[in-house]
Amino acid sequence: MRMLVIGIVMMFTGASMGLLSMNPVCRFTQSDPCYGAVGRPLYLQLPSEYELVLKMSNSGTSFVLIFKFKNQITSKHHSDYPRWEFATDNRTMIISNAKKRDSGKYTLETFDSFGGSKGAYFLQLIIEGLSVNPVCRFTQSDPCYGAVGRPLYLQLEYEDEFILKMSNSGTFSILILKYKNQRATKHHSDYPRWEFVTDNRTMVISNAEKRDSGKYKLESFDLFGGSKGMYFLQLIIEDTIVQTNYEAEKPKDTFGVLVVVQVLEIIILLTLLGGFHIYTKIQRKRISRTVETTEQEGQESLYTNTDQEDREHHHRQRR
């Protein structure tokens, strides 16, 4: 009974800790992309093979050598060591502080002790920003990331006139917005999901969608129509965003799941306890019946012996 309760408690604790885990583990055997967040730890679980060679795809064709491991020895460390550090005991690559540049497609080649290939594994790693509602600026050099269904803000330049276009198959052919003399003369075709705020020169995307991804060009002009320069921004809208600060909505979801798990485990525990109680009751009845049967047989045996002795005594008196 005591072991049963301990087992249930351990099961509950394990489930709860799993639900509360905030640092993802990526496995090269998984088919889906693995997501991490900027500034958070990330763990890459590698297969337990004799020799491992890890590479990262660069522009889709060439590869950058990341790491070499053979015969329990790391012969080539990541160039960003020790931020990328390999734990030999459990074959885990630990990224202590994930960065945007860690995103990419990784290839893991495995070999046996004779140098024979044991197969290749692939993993798509996506490191996302921390901001829930990011602000993208046309002066930034890095791509700007957003999440499907979340708001997104494009901060445009303070110029007298500008024209915003989106690239279509390499050419900037889709006109998004025209602004001149404090007025937007051309709105986005998906207005009001895309809405321009004149006061602070901000394009507000109230509900980002996958098709918003692309390269954008902002052409700026002065009051007389003279060019003030061009700005470019690569916008990437992804399906999932990893929130490391777990805003109010995240704990609510986790709490709901934990409540369901607790209820299910309590039901299981009560079922097992009820079964144990019924089993104990049945065993007691069986033991009680056995004792009663034994006592009955003993009494019958005693009566039989007494009758036999009386007959023998009566027989001797008659003689």
Q: Are residues 107 and 178 in the same domain?
A: no
Q: What is the pLDDT of residue 10?
A: 42
Residue 301 is assigned to a structural domain of this protein: no
Co-location of 109 and 29 in the same domain? yes
* CATH code of the domain in which 175 resides: 2.60.40.10
Is 33 in the same domain as 97?
yes
User: Is the domain of 119 the same as that of 144?
Assistant: no
261 falls within a domain: no
Query: What's the DSSP call for residue 240?
Result: -
With beta carbons less than 8 A apart as the criterion, state whether 41 and 98 touch.
yes
Using the predicted structure, report yes or no on whether residue 121 has a pLDDT greater than 90. yes
* Closest by Cα among 112, 106, 48 to 78: 106
Mean pLDDT of the chain: 77
Domain closes at, from 218, 238, 258 = 238
Please classify residue 147 by burial: count the beta carbons closer than 10 Å to its beta carbon, then call 0-12 exposed, 13-18 middle and 19+ buried.
buried
Residues 206 and 124 in one domain: no
Whether 310 is in a domain gets the answer no
Rg (CA), the chain: 37
pLDDT of 16 > 70? The answer is: no
Domain end position, chosen among 182, 214, 238: 238
Domain-embedded: residue 271: no
Q: If you average pLDDT over each of 23-27, 54-58, 176-180, 187-191, which comes out highest?
A: 176-180
Number of domains the chain is built from: 2
- CA triple 130-133-139, angle to 5 deg: 85
Both 175 and 233 in one domain: the answer is yes
Q: Are residues 37 and 57 in the same domain?
A: yes
Which pLDDT score, from 0 to 100, does residue 134 have?
A: 73
Give the pLDDT score at 243: 41
Full domain range(s) for residue 183: 135-238
Residue ending a domain, choose from 190, 222, 238: 238
Per DSSP (E only), the strands in the chain are 25-27, 34-37, 42-45, 51-58, 62-70, 73-76, 84-87, 92-95, 104-111, 117-128, 135-137, 144-147, 152-155, 161-168, 171-180, 183-186, 194-197, 202-205, 214-221, 227-238
Q: Is 179 inside any structural domain?
A: yes
Reported as a single tens digit per residue, the pLDDT across 287-318 is: 777 666 666 666 665 555 556 666 666 666 66
Task: Report the percent of the chain where pLDDT is more than 70.
Answer: 71
SS3 state of residue 70: strand
Segment 179-228, tens digit of pLDDT: 998 888 877 888 888 988 888 888 889 888 999 999 999 999 998 999 99
Measured CA to CA, the distance from residue 263 to residue 7 in angstroms comes to 16
Q: What is the pLDDT of residue 318?
A: 62
Q: Say whether both 140 and 227 belong to one domain.
A: yes
Q: What is the pLDDT of residue 20?
A: 31
Query: CA-based angle 182:185:191, to the nearest 5?
Result: 110
In this structure, the answer to whether residues 151 and 90 fall within a common structural domain is: no
Co-location of 57 and 121 in the same domain: yes
128, two tokens: 């996302």
307 inside domain: no
SS3 of residue 3 by DSSP: helix
Please tell me whether residues 102 and 139 are part of one structural domain.
no
**Residue range 130-141: mean pLDDT, rounded:** 75
pLDDT of residue 69: 92
Taking the whole predicted model, whether its pTM rises above 0.75 is answered as no
Residue 208 within any structural domain of the chain: yes
Q: Which of 65-69, 236-240, 288-292 has the highest mean pLDDT?
A: 65-69
Is 209 found in the same domain as 165? Answer: yes
Residue 11 lies in a domain: no
